[in-house]
Structure 1
Amino acid sequence: MEAVIRKVQQGDASNLAYIQTESWKAAFTSILDAETLTKCTNIERATSMYQRLLDEKKGNGYLLAVDGKPHCIAYWDAARDSELVGKAELICIHSLPNNWHKGYGSMMMNRVLKDIKEAGYSEVVLWVFRQNLRARAFYEANGFALTDFSKPAFDTEEVLYSKKI
């Protein structure tokens, strides 16, 4: 199987939204209540969000395709929280569940970390649901360490991970 990573571009909004919403449905059914998950996986709403990001050229987005079919997305930017100024933030990394555990997420992570370093950052942070043990294991395997920071998110909690690069 051939995997190709490229920067997102106009015309990608529906693929970005599809990958995010399908990933959320697979990963968060035991973390978020059904109503919240349904709201957060509304494909029209997600497509509009990604179209706005593309139109405003906001963030640094990537799309990984496997044999020409979109599979994984990632976005990073300057950290959004005021106490994290000067750090990069991995805002999302999502992939379709049919290809989980095949190395594509690690390929995407390596690309994103390389670009963050080239942009002049020495540290990258990310927020993840405390209960998302699969994702947390992935981040830890990629060198991220749990910090002491947490915050409420929906009806659960997110924890902050950090990595020096």
Structure 2
Amino acid sequence: MSLKIRQAVVEDAKVISNIHALSWKSAYKELVPQRYLDDLKNDFWVEAFENWIRSDDLKAKIIYENEKPIGCAIYGKSRDEKLLNWGEIVSIYLLPDYFHKGYGQKLLDNVLIDMKELGYKNIYLWVLEENDKARLFYEKNGFKCNDDKYYFEVMQKQLVNVRYVNSLKSLGNKNPVKRGT
């Protein structure tokens, strides 16, 4: 088995959007209205990802198993005006067949190293409050919920994101995934 993580380019936006949509349809069952998930198009985020990558506002990585793209991460400079010097992990998603196999950990480790090299000392991310699996994953990786909440609606269902924060100072010389692998 061959495993590779690489920086995404604008031309990868369709692949990244597809991974997001398929992951949402599986991971957010019973959390997000089913009709929304059923109607979610695989190319829903293409334009947003193209713009983010092209403008360098955010960066993206794709993880491959045997040359097949199986997951991705979006990250970069904070989009929150209250945390301007912070880094933000916008998303980490995998194709459903690759959940719970360690790929998310490899992708997160690679992104954390990159964010530290980019000069971020502190980072944050948002997690659906009801998404216990994701919350546990980030807590096992040193993230702490700071009780900030972001409320939004999907098809008239109110959802809540909670903010998780972490310091990259604790990373030290950790190098779990080598560059370009």
TM-score (norm 1): 0.93
Give the corresponding residue for 2:99: 100
1:81 to 2:93 alignment = no
1:164 to 2:167 alignment = yes
1:124-148 CA-to-partner distances (Å, cap 9, x unmatched) read 1000100011111111111111112
Q: Name the aligned partner's letter for residue 159 of structure 2.
A: T
Q: Name the aligned partner's letter for residue 5 of structure 1.
A: I
Give the corresponding residue for 2:15: 15
Q: Name the aligned partner's letter for residue 79 of structure 2.
A: R
Alpha-carbon distance, 1:95 to partner: 0.4
Alpha-carbon distance, 1:116 to partner: 0.6
Q: Distance in 1 between matches of 2:161 and 2:38?
A: 19
Q: Name the aligned partner's letter for residue 156 of structure 1.
A: L
Alpha-carbon distance, 1:46 to partner: 1.8
Give the corresponding residue for 2:65: 66
Q: How many residues align?
A: 164
Alpha-carbon distance, 1:16 to partner: 0.5
Q: Distance in 2 between matches of 1:120 and 1:16?
A: 25
Alpha-carbon distance, 1:84 to partner: 1.5
Q: Distance in 1 between matches of 2:36 and 2:52?
A: 22
Give the secondary-structure state (helix, strand or coil) at the position aligned to 1:30. Answer: coil
- Tell me, yes or no, if the aligned pair for 2:10 and 2:49 is still in contact at 8 Å: no
1:124 to 2:127 alignment = no
Give the corresponding residue for 1:29: 29
**Unaligned 5+ residue runs, structure 2?**
169-181
Give the corresponding residue for 2:5: 5
1:115 to 2:118 alignment = no
1:63-99 CA-to-partner distances (Å, cap 9, x unmatched) read 0001110011001111111111211000010001101
Q: Distance in 2 between matches of 1:145 and 1:12?
A: 32
- What is the Cα-based RMSD across aligned positions, in Å? 1.4
Q: Name the aligned partner's letter for residue 15 of structure 1.
A: V
TM-score (norm 2): 0.85
Alpha-carbon distance, 1:38 to partner: 4.3
**Unaligned 5+ residue runs, structure 1?**
none
% same residue: 29
- Tell me, yes or no, if the aligned pair for 1:3 and 1:104 is still in contact at 8 Å: no
